[in-house]
């Protein structure tokens, strides 16, 4: 029997799994002593072996010569030659920036790093961005601007030690299930849990306070908390004076947001606003945790910034059991965004426009800084309109399924069809891959080797299964880019024999950068040493808790924010009276490309509309019946009603895991982007109409009843 320890392929907790391989097959259990899951796994983790023999898994490259032909299996050489030849000819005809690269937080650190290098050196394009733009970019912008680094300030050990936990727009119980262990630990030790979510999730049910806020109004709530903290004389003046800048201006702005006024916007009573503000301020150890629920709005950056103001004004940061934790979503949502996949960043979270950072990367890559293209013109969701305008002619998608997960599905589909060339690199034949000219399988669970940086900014080793048990013919992603680079006359930049060599080059590239990985080693990561970045030569064991003495600015001080909160882009009205909010189910994952085909997980249906019983009754909608959901642009989807008490009466919820013809992003327009480039994924307004009226059914039942009585 052999045993492999590797992380679960799904969320950013990266719980360790133990795969026991015997001649009879494989078995999966939790990894003992895992720092987050303590040896347990959620249902997705337990089902993860099903990713290996997934019905949509591809084992050989697929190719077609025209879009009207079906994709057929081909040799690696033919597929790689075809990709290189098409990209070379598009670059010659339209210039390098006509090729765009769409990366992912599902990739290892080494793949993320190589993808950025490949785009900028082998293709020479400035257009690279990734699906984390849809995920962590609003939180990242707020944290970098106010605290200095794009990283949660604290770890799960701090959550366990907290006395008050303020959890905003996060459905931990379904989206990060093993995190519930830390919450439960804190609760058992007397912590007060405050949850802000329009829905009563399992987390909300277990909380001391559940604020079922009106969607899109969190930013206002946070400002009312600041107002209330100042009014109740609960400002931590020592902290504010010694460790921050900009308090006076911020406090002046807070005057506009009295709990009374804000209660009208949010639906939360002034008394509750005052109570939770007091609790957060007076408790010795308070923490803020947040998910996408407040971030994926046009004013998501403003909302996160306002909550960080709450943390700073109360001085609840830099000590055990305090701080702010943006709950990263994807497996490598953290590392994925640090290593050069963002349109505006080079590896190490280095701003691409900064000459010193360009110089540092140019040195590691052995090129002139001029060779590194400038910042991209487009973020991930802007790629698709750019394709329609003719600015982008070829797209390379690596580890994402934008046909389902980017806003405005029909527009994305139209754009993808307009491309001269689409290549997808993914072990699964996703809906996006099905539209491609060439599909190349690489990486993924059981195959990928390297490292991932988890929700705590802790670097974890990723190991492949032994060769006789993993899918045949499996390639690492970097091998694909290396082979393509050879064909694009850039072999000299990709001389690697092993993944370790990439890790070591990546370490050099991050040395002295904001996200600094330089002080650890491949051996120590592979032997399971706990390491949270920054890991420098001076702090080789890393930094679990940030900002104990100074924030990451040259003067060491955090910055208060005066960004003004704003409403959701679309407001309910008589024609579209319901908020539609979107998010996750416990059994499925993101676009559903993996979980909709996994025998254990596919038992949980997708395409469901969660609706309150009173609303359902008013609209004559019965449980399990089809409902037409129409947005203000006149686009409709038919979904199946699931009646539940656990949602506001003016709000319905749909997951993002539906199959293509029911994809929720048919209803989410591209709309104005946030300051971070994030679309307003969480929200739109809709009208609802039953396709099968409850009253018709009731009439029939009454007739039968009458018959029996007579
Ligand atoms: N099971 C499962 N787990 C996952 C994933 C998955 O697809 N499935 N995906 C992973 C990824 S990539 C991510 S980013 C994370 C996401 O993790 P979360 O952010 O926790 O999950 P979501 O369901 O997207 O949104 C969280 C909550 O926001 C609420 N919400 C909607 N609008 C508002 C609002 O205006 N204000 C507030 N306060 N709340 C609001 C929704 O009701 C929902 O319960 O999960 C990760 N883990
Ligand atoms: N309306 C609405 N839309 C949303 C959201 C929402 O809440 N509401 N959430 C947004 C968020 S937070 C996110 S993160 C996105 C996620 O949505 P997508 O970007 O579509 O992500 P996934 O569906 O997780 O697809 C990841 C793919 O990566 C592949 N993969 C895994 N490992 C590897 C590897 O090692 N190598 C390669 N090459 N491929 C690999 C998997 O097989 C899978 O097909 O969706 C966004 N869209
Ligand atoms: S909590 Fe996340 S990482 Fe842990 S087992 Fe579940 S899906 Fe996997
Ligand atoms: Mo995400």
- pLDDT value for 466: 78
> What CA–CA distance (Å, rounded) separates 134 from 137?
7
Extract the tokens encoding 710: 């007579």
Kindly give, in sequence order, each residue whose CB lies less than 8 Å from that of residue 678, ignoring residues fewer than 6 positions away.
133, 134, 137, 138, 295, 296, 300, 301
Which residue is listed with tokens 């600094």? 516
Lowest mean pLDDT segment, chosen from 98-107, 530-539, 542-551: 530-539
Report the nearest atom of ligand 1 relative to the CA of 11: 47
Phi then psi dihedrals of residue 623, to 5 deg: -60, 135
Q: What is 2-51's CATH number? A: 3.30.200.210
Q: pLDDT grade, residue 473 (50/70/90)?
A: confident
Report the nearest atom of ligand 2 relative to the CA of 668: 1
- pLDDT value for 26: 84
Phi then psi dihedrals of residue 641, to 5 deg: -70, 135
Distance 617 CA to ligand 4 centre (A): 34
Distance 199 CA to ligand 1 centre (A): 11
Neighbours of 710 (CB within 10 A): 5
Could you say which of 3.50.30.10, 3.40.50.300, 3.40.228.10, 3.40.50.2020 is the CATH number of the domain covering 137-327?
A: 3.40.228.10
Distance 329 CA to ligand 2 centre (A): 10
- pLDDT value for 353: 98
Average pLDDT for the chain? 95
DSSP conformation letters of 496-508: -SSHHHHHHHHHH
Q: pLDDT grade, residue 706 (50/70/90)?
A: very low
- pLDDT value for 21: 81
Which residue is listed with tokens 């994926």? 296
- pLDDT value for 693: 67
Distance 329 CA to ligand 4 centre (A): 4
Is the pLDDT at 618 greater than 90? The verdict is yes
> What CA–CA distance (Å, rounded) separates 484 from 479?
9
Does the Cβ of 9 fall within 6 Å of ligand 3? no
Angle at 309 between CA 303 and CA 311, to 5 degrees: 110
Neighbours of 639 (CB within 10 A): 24
Extract the tokens encoding 310: 């709450």
83 in Cβ contact with 481 (< 8 Å) = no
Locate CATH 2.40.40.20 in the chain. 578-690
Mutate-to-test residue for ligand 2 from 106, 298, 677, highest number of ligand atoms within 8 A of CB? 106
List helix spans (H) across 95-231: 109-117, 137-146, 156-161, 172-175, 180-188, 202-205, 218-231
Mutate-to-test residue for ligand 3 from 14, 19, 28, 45, highest number of ligand atoms within 8 A of CB? 45
DSSP tag of 120:
I
Locate CATH 3.40.50.740 in the chain. 62-135+331-496
Mutate-to-test residue for ligand 2 from 115, 169, 399, highest number of ligand atoms within 8 A of CB? 399
Distance 576 CA to ligand 1 centre (A): 23
Cis amide leading into 534 (omega within 30): yes
pLDDT, tens digit, for every residue of 256-288? 999 999 999 999 999 999 999 999 999 999 999
Is the pLDDT at 705 greater than 60? The verdict is no
Distance 591 CA to ligand 2 centre (A): 6
Distance 171 CA to ligand 2 centre (A): 18
Is the pLDDT at 64 greater than 70? The verdict is yes
Report the nearest atom of ligand 1 relative to the CA of 585: 1
Tell me whether strands 99-103 and 394-398 are parallel, antiparallel or unpaired. parallel
> What CA–CA distance (Å, rounded) separates 341 from 101?
9
Across residues 688-694, what is the average pLDDT?
Answer: 84
- pLDDT value for 695: 62
Identify the nearest ligand to the CA of 181 by its number. Answer: 3
Across residues 19-48, what is the average pLDDT?
Answer: 92
Q: pLDDT grade, residue 474 (50/70/90)?
A: confident
Distance 462 CA to ligand 3 centre (A): 15
Report the nearest atom of ligand 1 relative to the CA of 211: 38
Q: Is the pTM of this model over 0.75?
A: yes
Does the Cβ of 419 fall within 6 Å of ligand 3? no
Across residues 31-49, what is the average pLDDT?
Answer: 95
Is the pLDDT at 697 greater than 90? The verdict is no
Strand arrangement, sheet containing 72-73: 72-73, 62-63, 438-440, 421-425, 394-398, 99-103, 128-130
Q: CA separation (Å) from 513 to 150, 346, 347, 517, 537?
A: 12, 10, 8, 9, 13
Is the pLDDT at 699 greater than 60? The verdict is no
pLDDT, tens digit, for every residue of 480-520? 999 999 999 999 999 999 999 999 999 999 999 999 999 99
Is the pLDDT at 701 greater than 60? The verdict is no
- The residue whose C-alpha atom lies closest to atom 23 belonging to ligand 1 is 583
Is the pLDDT at 649 greater than 90? The verdict is yes
Mutate-to-test residue for ligand 1 from 167, 583, 651, highest number of ligand atoms within 8 A of CB? 583
- pLDDT value for 91: 98
Phi then psi dihedrals of residue 279, to 5 deg: -55, -45
Across residues 230-241, what is the average pLDDT?
Answer: 98
Which residue is listed with tokens 């604290």? 154
Phi then psi dihedrals of residue 647, to 5 deg: -155, 155
Percentage above 90 pLDDT, the chain: 93
Distance 153 CA to ligand 2 centre (A): 25
Identify the nearest ligand to the CA of 330 by its number. Answer: 1
Does the Cβ of 427 fall within 6 Å of ligand 2? yes
Q: pLDDT grade, residue 696 (50/70/90)?
A: low
Query: 578-690 sits in which CATH class?
Result: mainly beta
Is the pLDDT at 233 greater than 90? The verdict is yes
- pLDDT value for 710: 29
* Burial classification of residue 304, based on how many CB atoms lie within 10 Å of its CB (0-12 exposed, 13-18 middle, 19 or more buried): buried
Phi then psi dihedrals of residue 608, to 5 deg: -105, 140
In whole angstroms, how large is the CA radius of gyration of the chain?
Answer: 25
Percentage above 70 pLDDT, the chain: 97
Is the pLDDT at 708 greater than 70? The verdict is no
SS (H, E, C) 524-577: HHHCCCCCECCCCCCCCCECCCCCCCCCCCCCCCEECCCCCCCCCCCCCCCCCC
Q: pLDDT grade, residue 702 (50/70/90)?
A: very low
Locate CATH 3.30.200.210 in the chain. 2-51
Lowest mean pLDDT segment, chosen from 24-38, 68-82, 123-137, 202-216: 24-38
Q: What are the pocket residues of ligand 1 if the criterion is a CB atom closer than 6 Å to any ligand atom?
A: 11, 135, 168-171, 174-176, 196-199, 201, 213, 215-216, 218, 291-294, 329-330, 581, 583-584, 586, 588-590, 653, 682
Does the Cβ of 608 fall within 6 Å of ligand 3? no
Is the pLDDT at 707 greater than 80? The verdict is no
SS (H, E, C) 616-637: HHHCCCCCCCEEEEEECCCCEE
> What CA–CA distance (Å, rounded) separates 107 from 330?
9
Considering the segment(s) 62-135+331-496 as one domain, its CATH architecture is 3-Layer(aba) Sandwich (3.40)
Across residues 657-686, what is the average pLDDT?
Answer: 97
Locate CATH 3.40.228.10 in the chain. 137-327
């Amino acid at each position: 029997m052999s045993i492999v320890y590797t992380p679960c392929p799904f969320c950013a907790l990266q719980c360790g799994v133990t795969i026991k391989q015997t001649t009879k097959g494989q078995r999966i259990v939790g990894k003992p002593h895992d720092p987050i899951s303590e040896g347990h796994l959620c249902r997705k983790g337990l089902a993860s072996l099903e990713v290996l023999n997934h019905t949509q898994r591809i084992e050989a490259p697929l190719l077609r010569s025209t879009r009207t032909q079906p994709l057929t299996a081909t040799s690696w050489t033919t597929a790689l030659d075809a990709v290189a030849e098409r990209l070379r000819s598009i670059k010659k005809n339209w210039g390098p920036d006509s090729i765009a690269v769409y990366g992912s937080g599902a990739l290892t650190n080494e793949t993320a790093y190589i993808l950025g290098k490949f785009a900028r050196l082998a293709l020479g394009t400035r257009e690279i961005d990734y699906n984390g733009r849809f995920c962590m970019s609003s939180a990242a912008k707020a944290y970098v601007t106010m605290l200095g680094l794009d990283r949660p300030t604290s770890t799960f050990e701090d959550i366990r030690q907290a006395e008050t936990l303020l959890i905003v727009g996060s459905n931990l119980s379904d989206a990060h299930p093993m995190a519930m262990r830390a919450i439960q630990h804190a609760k058992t030790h007397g912590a007060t849990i405050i949850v802000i979510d329009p829905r009563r999730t399992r987390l909300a049910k277990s909380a001391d306070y559940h604020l079922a806020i009106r969607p899109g109004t969190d930013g206002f709530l946070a400002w009312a908390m600041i107002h209330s903290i100042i009014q109740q004389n609960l400002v931590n003046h020592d902290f504010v004076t010694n460790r921050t800048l900009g308090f006076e201006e911020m406090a002046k702005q807070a005057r506009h947001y009295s709990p009374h006024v804000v209660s009208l916007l949010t639906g939360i009573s002034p008394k509750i606003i005052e109570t939770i503000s007091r609790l957060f301020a007076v408790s010795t150890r308070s923490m803020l945790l947040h998910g996408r629920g407040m971030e994926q709005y046009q004013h998501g950056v403003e909302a996160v910034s306002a909550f960080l103001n709450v943390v700073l004004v109360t001085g609840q940061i830099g000590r055990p059991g305090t701080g702010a934790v943006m709950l990263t979503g994807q497996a490598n949502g953290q590392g994925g965004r640090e290593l050069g996949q963002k349109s505006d960043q080079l590896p190490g979270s280095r701003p691409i426009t900064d000459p010193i950072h360009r110089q540092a990367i140019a040195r590691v890559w052995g090129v002139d800084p001029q060779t590194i293209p400038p910042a991209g013109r487009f973020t991930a969701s802007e790629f698709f309109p750019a394709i329609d305008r003719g600015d982008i002619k070829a797209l390379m998608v690596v580890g994402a399924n934008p046909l389902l997960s980017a806003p405005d599905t029909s527009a994305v589909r139209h754009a993808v069809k307009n491309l001269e060339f689409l290549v997808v690199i993914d072990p699964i034949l996703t809906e996006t891959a099905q539209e491609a000219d060439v599909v190349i399988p690489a990486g993924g669970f059981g195959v990928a080797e390297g490292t991932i940086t988890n929700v705590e900014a802790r670097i974890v080793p990723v190991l492949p299964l032994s060769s006789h048990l993993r899918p045949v013919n499996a390639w690492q992603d970097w091998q694909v880019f290396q082979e393509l680079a050879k064909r694009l006359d850039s072999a000299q930049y990709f001389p690697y024999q092993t993944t370790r060599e990439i890790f070591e080059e990546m370490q050099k590239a991050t040395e002295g950068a904001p996200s600094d990985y330089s002080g650890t080693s491949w051996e120590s990561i592979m032997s399971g040493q706990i390491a949270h970045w920054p890991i420098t030569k001076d702090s080789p064991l890393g930094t679990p808790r940030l900002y104990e003495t100074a924030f990451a600015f040259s003067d060491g001080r955090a910055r208060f924010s005066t960004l003004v909160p704003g409403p959701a882009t679309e407001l309910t009205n008589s024609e579209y009276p319901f908020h539609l909010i979107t998010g996750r189910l416990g059994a499925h994952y993101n676009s559903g490309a993996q979980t909709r085909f996994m025998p254990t997980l596919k038992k949980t249906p997708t395409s469901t509309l969660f609706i309150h019983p009173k609303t359902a009754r008013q609209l004559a909608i019965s449980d399990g019946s089809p409902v037409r959901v129409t947005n203000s642009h006149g686009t409709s989807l038919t979904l199946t009603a699931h009646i539940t008490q656990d949602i506001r009466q003016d709000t319905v919820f749909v997951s993002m895991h539906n199959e293509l013809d029911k994809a929720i992003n048919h209803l989410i327009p591209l709309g104005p982007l946030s300051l971070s480039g994030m679309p307003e994924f969480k929200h739109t307004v809709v009208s609802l109409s039953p396709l099968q009226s409850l009253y018709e059914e009731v009439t029939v039942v009454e007739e039968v009843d009458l018959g029996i009585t007579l």
